Amino acid sequence: MKKIIGFLFCTLFVGAAHSQDGHLVTPANATVSIEKLSAADWQADLQFLQQTVHKDYSFLFKKVTAAEFDAAVDKLYKAMPGLEVHERVAGLARIISLFKYGHTSLGWRQSPFKYHVAPVNFYWFSDGLYAEGADKNYASIVGAKLLKIEGVPVMQVLEAIKPLVSAENEQFFKAYGLDFIAIPEALHAQGVTKELKPTVTYTFEKDGKTFDQILSAREGFHLPRNYGFATPGPDWISTRIRILRPFT
């Protein structure tokens, strides 16, 4: 009982400390061994979360009704025994995202479970989604327009991962929701990929040519960036000339 909630409430309701990139910087509860939790543990914590929201945070029921919230909780509760850890975390993220408050979210970056990130930074420009920065080993994709992820059209993928993001509006999602298309665990949990694997295959368009690129995701990797844009370094490149336009 309450084995996850110590971590959960740090990431859900403590929104004062943010990095420049807009992510919570509250440290995770390192004492939680999340792999050892049983389905019953997760279910108990989910119920505790539900009861606490009703008791102390009922003001969150603005963009979702209490009945809709309870129905989503009940659905996840019943599904818990058949889910993997990353799917359970995604389920909790979907529950919290129902409130659509930007500072009320379940941040994967602070969670005690292990997940992976493909070394690419995407940015939503006026004419589409582009690889704005990437590891130097994938230099060919920098400046390329993203068309598909694992063979699925990019707009379809974005709709699939949108329930994970506590987006107050479309612009908020564009700013902070794109991280999930680089996380294999998120793509699998949301049904974009049929199996969980350590790589992500992207389809790009650049210089009139369309090509696929397989990126190997890295455990716990944090994208080197500032204000949404890649920060160039020895192993990281960006399309932007920062001397001329550092943050625009």
Q: Where are the domains of the chain?
A: 5-110, 116-238
pLDDT tens by residue, 126-172: 999 999 999 999 999 999 999 999 999 999 999 999 999 988 888 88
Q: Residues 53-61: what's their mean pLDDT?
A: 95
> What is the C-alpha to C-alpha distance for residues 134 and 237, in angstroms, rounded to an integer?
6
Burial track 2-20 (b if 16+ CB lie within 10 A, e otherwise): ebbbebbbbbbbeeeeeee
Specify the 3-state DSSP secondary structure of 123.
strand
pLDDT tens by residue, 23-38: 333 344 445 578 788 9
CATH architecture of 116-238: Roll (2.30)
